[in-house]
Amino acid sequence: MTHPAKPTIRTTCPYCGVGCGVLANADGQGGLSVRGDPDHPANLGRLCVKGSALGETVGHGGRLLAPQIGGRAATWDEALDLVARRFAQTIARHGPDSIAFYVSGQMLTEDYYVANKLMKGFIGSGNIDTNSRLCMASSVAGHRRAFGSDTVPGLYEDLELADTVVLVGSNLAWCHPVLYQRLAAAKEKRPGLRVVVIDPRRTATCDIADLHLRPAPGSDAALFNLLLSELSRRSIICRDDIDNIEDALTAANAVSPQATGLAHSQLWQFYDLWCGSEKVVTVYSQGINQSDSGTDKVNAILNCHLASGRIGRPGMGPFSVTGQPNAMGGREVGGLANMLACHLDIENPDHRRAVRDFWGAPGMAERPGLKAVDMFHAVEQGRIKALWVICTNPAASMPDADRVARAIAGCDFVVVSETAAQTDTSRLAHVLLPATGWGEKDGTVTNSERRISRQRRIMPPAGQARDDWRILAEVGRRMGWPEAFAWNGPAQVFAEHAALSGIAGGLGSDFDISAHADISTADYDRLEPFLWPQGAGKQGGRFFGDGRFHTPSGRGRLVPVTPRDPQPLNQDYPFRLNTGRIRDQWHTMTRTGLSPRLSRHLAEPFLELHPLDAARLGLTPAVLAEVESPQGRAILRVLVTERVAQGHPFAPIHWTGETAPAGRIGALLPALTDPVSGQPALKSAPVAIRPF
């Protein structure tokens, strides 16, 4: 029997923050073929290996197909009634701050908006935080300190237009592959484009580097402070548009070049390239953000771009690339505990009032909620009595993950919304709610260059799975707020968010998509990818090229940065473990792990170890090693390589408690956080290594 051909659906890849457009064709029998969308501005037809394997990951194997209460199947009505009742009882007995939502940068913007509205406007607590806290919270905090707003100034094409591209704390080739492909193609076409990679490890990204610097771990702020001093020495400072230059220079001038661990010749090579190119883009990612001084590192980079005026014009600027597909959308809806929707400030009474009035909210949160690490400490201490985890797996991915798992296990009431039947976190839930996954739902995402694109439904939901926004709205209605959660589809949620952004624009917010406030369902279905802002007289593009910022003075604000050393090593834990991602897996592998093709790349958790370290420890290639920190242990397959420096082994983050040998890296990492952003220092940990 032949099946009629299904139309091609234009959608967006659900993995990294590049946000590639995908053309998808379902065969009507559960199969799906995908290819890159040549008309999507992010990828222009390209897809990386993860994106091109999407068709292999949409089967129903391993899916959560029906609600469960206490491990037994339940109806949706039973499950939703129970969640609403327990939340209402908990609020009545212990107050709104006894509830917390822990959500995800993989949720669609509409899901995220509804979760944020329910918690901040109606439950009345700021206790909603997201796994994006683990990804780019330091960039958010750095942007707000420097620009007065969380604004990504530039566009992807700036990497192609630049004369020098610096990649710091970013393995772009594996973590944002299509952006790397665009950069590599630009370099091939224009060999004069210089690429500098700053990373203690030799990664695949170094393949196109003209210069690879391997600085001492954690010395990024020192490196960029020295660059600021050098910009001043060479008189490449534009004092007209910036505040705080003298204080920033005083802090920068106090740094010794020795702090970087680099030879003078390498430093001067780098500074000559950076200072000698007006068109310079500095791309940074988790290697900068995931540090207990991540915000300072971000500001050390932003200082150099602000001071030299290399920002907001074609081919220049700092560029934070986000790990997750919708980390940016989460920022836009106020998905972080310390933000309000539409980039408004939860600590500003005028902003709170405006959002409260717009929502008709009965109990607006009056202060920031708990950030991720503090949230799970509060769960452990019994201050959070009801927890809803949506689209993420904190029992594997949080630092000190064993402790987080114990905290969740001890919580009075835990709800988990998931696509996967079995995760480290779902096993600890009292109520499990099956959520639709990629290809089954409709909504929008925002990529790293502020481009909003549609994800579209391609196939029916698996089993009884429902969209996250709808599940959240059902709970809101059952808790007594039927009008506020009465949307009949994601287009209406999007339109409400867009309307709120118009009000936010009037309060000085940079985020404005008010041009879409009256969007119809038909227009939403046809919505083409677009850059924000899009409101009255605003049309995408770059920010800050005119020298106007969102700070009180209207000038860019430099932040004096005093570099901080990473956690010290000691006799018991003499190695500094470096963590990261591999090319073909995504997060805790619930989706990419379904593709045999992707699993062939690197099939099990491993530890890259320098040959001298391996020899000293008596470890040979392919044997098992036990890696231990004060927090926990993991068993990893040894890979002996000079890619890593002596004393600085590397391990990928993807494997969880289900895999053998146990490669659960989150269990090794300390719950240290950046004091400004609250982002955990997930990139490194002091460890001991021994034969297993």
CA pair distance 180, 356, nearest whole angstrom: 42
Rounded to a whole number of angstroms, the minimum distance from the CB of residue 11 to ligand SF4 is 11
| β-bridge pairing 211-213 and 317-320 | unpaired
Point out which span in 14-22, 108-116, 466-474, 517-525 binds ligand SF4 (CB under 6 A).
14-22
Which residue of 10, 11, 20, 678 would you call a contact of ligand SF4, by CB under 6 A?
20
Q: Which residues pair with 73 in a beta bridge?
A: 68
Length of the chain: 692
User: What type of residue sits at position 318?
Assistant: P
Rounded to a whole number of angstroms, the minimum distance from the CB of residue 12 to ligand SF4 is 8
Chain-centroid distance of CA 125 in Å reads 23
Rounded to a whole number of angstroms, the minimum distance from the CB of residue 684 to ligand SF4 is 25
Rounded to a whole number of angstroms, the minimum distance from the CB of residue 171 to ligand SF4 is 13
Is residue 13 a contact residue for ligand SF4 (CB under 6 A)?
yes
Is residue 47 a contact residue for ligand SF4 (CB under 6 A)?
yes
Rounded to a whole number of angstroms, the minimum distance from the CB of residue 46 to ligand SF4 is 7
Nearer to ligand SF4, 585 or 684 (CB): 585
SS (H, E, C) 268-288: HHHHHHHHHCCCEEEEECHHH
Using left for φ > 0, alpha for ψ between -120 and 50, and beta otherwise, residue 381 falls in alpha
Using left for φ > 0, alpha for ψ between -120 and 50, and beta otherwise, residue 567 falls in beta
Point out which span in 13-21, 82-90, 138-146, 430-438 binds ligand SF4 (CB under 6 A).
13-21
Is residue 328 a contact residue for ligand SF4 (CB under 6 A)?
no
Chain-centroid distance of CA 667 in Å reads 20
Rounded to a whole number of angstroms, the minimum distance from the CB of residue 120 to ligand SF4 is 29
User: What type of residue sits at position 96?
Assistant: P
CA pair distance 680, 674, nearest whole angstrom: 6
- Residue 38: Cβ within 10 Å count: 11
Rounded to a whole number of angstroms, the minimum distance from the CB of residue 326 to ligand SF4 is 11
Is residue 16 a contact residue for ligand SF4 (CB under 6 A)?
yes
Rounded to a whole number of angstroms, the minimum distance from the CB of residue 54 to ligand SF4 is 8
Q: Residue with structure tokens 């939403």?
A: 524
Is residue 452 a contact residue for ligand SF4 (CB under 6 A)?
no
- Tokens (6 digits) for 578: 């470096």
- Tokens (6 digits) for 429: 């839930």
Rounded to a whole number of angstroms, the minimum distance from the CB of residue 160 to ligand SF4 is 16
Interacting residues with ligand SF4 between 156 and 195 (CB under 6 A): 176-178
CA pair distance 17, 452, nearest whole angstrom: 11
> Residue 378: what are its φ and ψ, rounded to 5°?
-65, -35
Point out which span in 17-25, 255-263, 279-287, 364-372 binds ligand SF4 (CB under 6 A).
17-25
Which residue of 15, 87, 388, 469 would you call a contact of ligand SF4, by CB under 6 A?
15
| β-bridge pairing 68-69 and 72-73 | antiparallel
Nearer to ligand SF4, 160 or 292 (CB): 160
- Tokens (6 digits) for 8: 């091609």
Q: Which residue is nearest to ligand SF4 (CB)?
A: 51
Nearer to ligand SF4, 48 or 458 (CB): 48
- Dmax (CA) for the chain in angstroms is 76
Is residue 23 a contact residue for ligand SF4 (CB under 6 A)?
no
Is residue 50 a contact residue for ligand SF4 (CB under 6 A)?
yes
Give CA torsion, residues 396, 399, 402, 406, to 10 deg. Answer: -100
Contact (Cβ atoms closer than 8 angstroms) between residue 382 and residue 373: no
Q: Which residues pair with 575 in a beta bridge?
A: 687
Which residue of 9, 32, 48, 401 would you call a contact of ligand SF4, by CB under 6 A?
48
DSSP state of 592: G
Rounded to a whole number of angstroms, the minimum distance from the CB of residue 654 to ligand SF4 is 14
Nearer to ligand SF4, 323 or 334 (CB): 323
Which residue of 41, 51, 126, 560 would you call a contact of ligand SF4, by CB under 6 A?
51
Point out which span in 45-53, 88-96, 225-233, 473-481 binds ligand SF4 (CB under 6 A).
45-53
Rounded to a whole number of angstroms, the minimum distance from the CB of residue 510 to ligand SF4 is 24
Rounded to a whole number of angstroms, the minimum distance from the CB of residue 206 to ligand SF4 is 19
Number of residues in contact with ligand SF4 under rule CB under 6 A: 14
Is residue 582 a contact residue for ligand SF4 (CB under 6 A)?
no
Is residue 317 a contact residue for ligand SF4 (CB under 6 A)?
no
If you write DSSP's letter for every residue of 455-519 in order, what string do you get? Answer: E---SPPSTT-B-HHHHHHHHHHHTT-TTTT--SSHHHHHHHHHHHHHHHHHTT-S---GGGTT-
Residues that bind ligand SF4 (CB under 6 A): 13, 15-16, 18-20, 43, 47-48, 50-51, 176-178
